[in-house]
Structure 1
């Protein structure tokens, strides 16, 4: 079991185990002062890990309760990555690479359909790249994009939420690149420049219209 070591981690664990609590209740449970807990809670709130809401009580002022934000779940043990890799290995070993490729292709098809629905309303390349970056951020890739001096665009993904699966089977990365190319359109060139699975800090994609690429 994960053992919290810092005051902030102990607060996160208390909220995980017992639900929403006031700073005073947390201080009592953790053997510290309410003020010390409030300082930690504010830091955690600044990181997007906890949220505050007001609960009506009895006589007196309403009570401010703190609870975990969705982003805090990543701070706790999660064996899904190991399970995913294990399942991929089982498919490969017992059913073969062809079946694994079929699974990846099916995921690619579903992803393409969802992305096309989300990006399709954009009328120009910048808007499509912006919509794609927003979509990828919603999926946990911490994506952003910038326009480059030569008129091309750089899509940056600072995190890979499927890194374990992608490392075990790089067909996922190949499929994602093909989805980007399909969604952004046949008149667009997409080139991966940095790659987390290959040891990079992030994944980056150079995106330019074919007309600009030819110049």
Structure 2
């Protein structure tokens, strides 16, 4: 999904996927000098896309930390957000909450069918997570996964339907249920970070049952 950004805006990608960072970390991630990174960030700041704040950590001078502004976050688009919100409100207001739930259920079924198809050939939990992350990334969720001592983490750095989910959180509930069905009865799936709860990402802890 990083192909939506111009070459001189790659720092936005770093701050989106890693959260607020000091200048040196941004420079290292971009594989350029600190001065080169500073130039990029100052240019982005002049456009209102990033901002710097001073953070004190113990003794010594405060550290300057760079982060995305609301305008910077908007460079990672929500899929037809305004139209989607209007449709959700229209369905709820004219047809009632039952009709809206039917729409959510139908959307969930379509997603579940798709994810079961792409993961169906995988015999391991890790294989399923990898395929699911690849598919979600292609859908605009900036999805990655990692393995640690507790199992796996499926991480989504962006939500292309976030505005719609704010209006109707039933989409988020359906998403979690879908992931659980895709992973199967042998796995436990828990949402540990949630954009709508103030986190900078959505993240899911996925573990084989009996190993939590």
Bin for the TM-score computed over the shorter chain: 0.5 to 0.7
When normalised by structure 2's length, the TM-score is 0.63
Say if 2:79 and 2:161, in contact at 8 Å, map to a contact too.
no
Q: Look up the match of 1:172.
A: 171
CA distance 1:161–1:132, shift in 2 (3 Å)? same
Q: Distance in 2 between matches of 1:79 and 1:149?
A: 35
Detail structure 1 runs of 4+ shifted over 2 Å in the superposition.
74-80
- SS across alignment from 1:139: helix
Structure 1 residue 75: Cα displacement: 5.3
Pair 1:97–1:173, CA change in 2 (3 A): same
Partner of 1:129: 129
Matched length: 142
Query: What TM-score results when the alignment is normalised by the length of structure 1?
Result: 0.62
Q: CA deviation at 1:178?
A: 0.6
- Structure of greater Rg: 1
Matched with 1:111 is 111
The Cα shift of 1:184 comes to 0.6
1:146-177 deviation digits (Å, cap 9, x = unpaired): 11123x10110000000011111000000010
Instruction: Output the CA distance in 2 between the equivalents of 1:104 and 1:84.
Output: 12
Q: CA separation in 1, counterparts of 2:122 and 2:76?
A: 38
Instruction: Please state how far the C-alpha of 1:211 moved relative to its aligned partner.
Output: 2.2
Output the CA distance in 2 between the equivalents of 1:138 and 1:79. Answer: 13
Q: Once the 2 structures are TM-superposed, how far is the Cα of residue 87 of structure 1 from its aligned partner?
A: 1.1
Instruction: Name 2:157's counterpart in structure 1.
Output: 158
Distance of 1:166 and 1:174 partners within structure 2: 10
